[in-house]
Structure 1
Amino acid sequence: MTLPATRPLPARSKPAALSRRILLQGRYETLTMLRNGEQLILAIVLPLLALVALAVTPLLDGLGASRINIATPGVLALCAMSTAFTGQGIATGFDRRYGVLRFLSTTPLGKAGLIAGKVLAVLAVLVLQAVVVAVIALFMGWQPPLTGILLGIPLLALGAVAFTALGLLVAGTVRPEATLAITNLLWILFGALGGIVLPPTRLPDAVSAVVHFLPSGALGEAMRDALVHGQFNLLSVVVLLGWSFVASAAAIRWFKWS
């Protein structure tokens, strides 16, 4: 009696390539973020309120450029922090609670793939944020240099990578309630005293000396140097690269699926 020949598994039953897994996860994360009303408030409404507030108050007077020219780079940086750190961190923390991440841990995606997919989602939403903020700022008189725009795009992407890694590090290592508290508290502290919206010269002396080495201060200064003066801030880029590498490595090492 002869046994039937074993048929090879069809190609579609094999795991997809890692790049496709990451793209699919990024698409899922993007749609989830855009359908969440709270995320949209954090991503769009609050940055626009900050833009208008800085443009109509004298907080940025005396810095050598118009209020809107100084305010817009910082608000764009705030968009990156809002979506990548606070929004993504909170969403991931509660995904852990409800078992979504436990389900993903049974797939070939892996921790590195999950982080890469979330970074893609943050970048996709950040494009939408940047377009909305830039259009409003242009109507308010914003006049960025062309070289600054070319520098600002990769800087904003680098900032999103750094803050996504930090958000996932928090969300993957502490309880969801603690993630909610930590990310919201740091959003307030970074926004008010972290050099992301207000330049270091507008902060207390004790704070201005260290904000350059925070991810918020580094991104804020890099964006202002690019979009106000058309200059490349090497120190800020090195700081952001350092935060990106350390936070990503730590998140991959200590991230817990449940």
Structure 2
Amino acid sequence: MIAAQAVLETRMLLRNGEQLLLTVVIPTLLLALFSSVDIVDTGAGRAVDFLTPGVLALAVMSTAFTGQAIATGFERRYGVLKRLASSPLPRWGLMTAKTASVLVTEVLQVILLTVVAFALGWSPQGAGTFTGVVAVLLLLILGTAAFSGLGLLMAGTLKAEATLAAANLVFLLLLVGGGVIVPLGKFPSGVQDVLGLLPISALSDGLRDVLRHGAGMPWGDLGILGAWAVVGLAAAGRFFHWE
């Protein structure tokens, strides 16, 4: 049942033009624009080397959190989830299927963004080692789980219109303050400490440490993402309403 629902969710996601704009077009345009035009000071080195890990993190957030929250919120409003509630599919099974569909979409996103980044001259440092590959995979998986839980929590507790507004607002705020485009070092020290605990900051910093600096396993960032994943998914499982 979970596999069948995951396939259905993936098909619906890939057929939604607005979702594709949010999850594919916007991250790709941001990567190409800010890598080609000197708009933001990204520090020493080439801009594409700084931006690519952050845009990969943004792609995960746009799919697992923003897009999923909005889509699920309107499914709840129009009674789709109410019908699913009467099926043998349990609540946790629906969340698992939605998360699986998000992972499939993210694979396509990562492939596209990687191709674009290489075309812009990106040269990842830690992607060629076994530890680097494992670290990137763990970061992406935990980041997906964290954002998916938070997105489902929002969609399952707020009205559809409120979810639409809140999800887009959070997307814009974290785009600026999550270390995606603007380095966290540009913010005051006290603000940096708070922003560093956000899932988007942990994901972008972890990916940047591995792919830009060739660092080892980013245990601190993985711990932050793991904590958000546990809290988000547990809260979504507890408070999610079908209607």
Give TM-score, length-normalised by structure 2: 0.93
User: Within the alignment, does 1:83 sit opposite 2:68 as a pair?
Assistant: no
Given that 1:54 and 1:60 are in contact with CA atoms closer than 8 Å, whether structure 2 keeps it comes out as no
User: Within the alignment, does 1:257 sit opposite 2:238 as a pair?
Assistant: no
Equivalent position to 2:210, from 201, 207, 226: 226
Given that 2:65 and 2:150 are in contact with CA atoms closer than 8 Å, whether structure 1 keeps it comes out as yes
Residue matched to 2:135: 151
Given that 1:197 and 1:220 are in contact with CA atoms closer than 8 Å, whether structure 2 keeps it comes out as no
Q: Offset at 1:211?
A: 1.2
Given that 2:124 and 2:211 are in contact with CA atoms closer than 8 Å, whether structure 1 keeps it comes out as yes
Residue matched to 1:237: 222
Residue matched to 2:165: 181
Given that 1:86 and 1:184 are in contact with CA atoms closer than 8 Å, whether structure 2 keeps it comes out as yes
Equivalent position to 2:99, from 119, 125, 128: 119
Cα distance between partner residues in 2 of 1:204 and 1:40:
35
Residue matched to 2:43: 62
Cα distance between partner residues in 2 of 1:38 and 1:205:
37
Q: How many residues align?
A: 237
Distance change (3 Å), C-alpha of 1:214 and 1:233: same
Residue matched to 1:133: 113
Q: Offset at 1:109?
A: 1.2
Given that 2:156 and 2:236 are in contact with CA atoms closer than 8 Å, whether structure 1 keeps it comes out as yes
Given that 1:218 and 1:239 are in contact with CA atoms closer than 8 Å, whether structure 2 keeps it comes out as yes
Residue matched to 2:183: 199
Give TM-score, length-normalised by structure 1: 0.88
Equivalent position to 1:47, from 27, 31, 42: 27
Could you report, residue by residue, the CA deviation over 1:150-204 in whole angstroms, capped at 9, with x for unpaired residues? Answer: 4212211211111011000000001001100110000000111122343311334
SS in 1 for 2:157: coil
Higher RCO (CA 8 Å, separation ≥ 6 residues): 2
Displacement over 4 Å in runs of 4+: none
